[in-house]
Amino acid sequence: MLVLVIQIGADRYALDARGVREVVPAVAVRAVPHAPPVVAGLATWRGQVVPVIDLVRLLTGQPCPPRMSSRVVIVDYAAGGAKRPLGLLAEQITDVERVDDKSIEEPGVTLPDARYLGRVMRSHGFLVQLVEVKALLPEELRTLLWSAVDEAHQ
């Protein structure tokens, strides 16, 4: 499996690269009034309005620091019966790695409110946890995000 490794604070996480469309510099986003704090806002990517989630805030409770290394990872997200682009604001992309599936282990902990935290692997002396994009957003947030995107098109 090919993974995109992301540094958030002192911890590392990874995304399955098969679902990553593109990594772009952090862009200005339009706030979505009354949205949960994890919603960074809406951005334009290749002519489409795309919701952007602050992955740092989701994982740590703190907003993504404004750094030159901050990036938005555009991923495929299944919503409304279709694959739609979703932006994930990340503090820093550190690497792209090929990982043997046999070396990825179950973490031994399952958190009902964080089902997106998947299996773990070792990489360059770090324990890296996979983020399961398909489990990233609860139903209410999916509805909020894509209704906001649909309204932005009108």
User: Residue 102: what pLDDT?
Assistant: 82
User: Residue 42: what pLDDT?
Assistant: 93
CATH for the stretch 2-153: 2.40.50.180
User: Residue 129: what pLDDT?
Assistant: 92
User: Residue 120: what pLDDT?
Assistant: 92
Which residues of the chain, if any, have pLDDT below 70? Answer: 148-154
Chain segment 88-111, per-residue pLDDT in tens: 999 999 889 998 888 888 888 877
User: Residue 140: what pLDDT?
Assistant: 84
pTM for this entry: 0.89
CB environment 116-133: b (16+ within 10 A), e (fewer): bbbebbebeeeebbbbeb
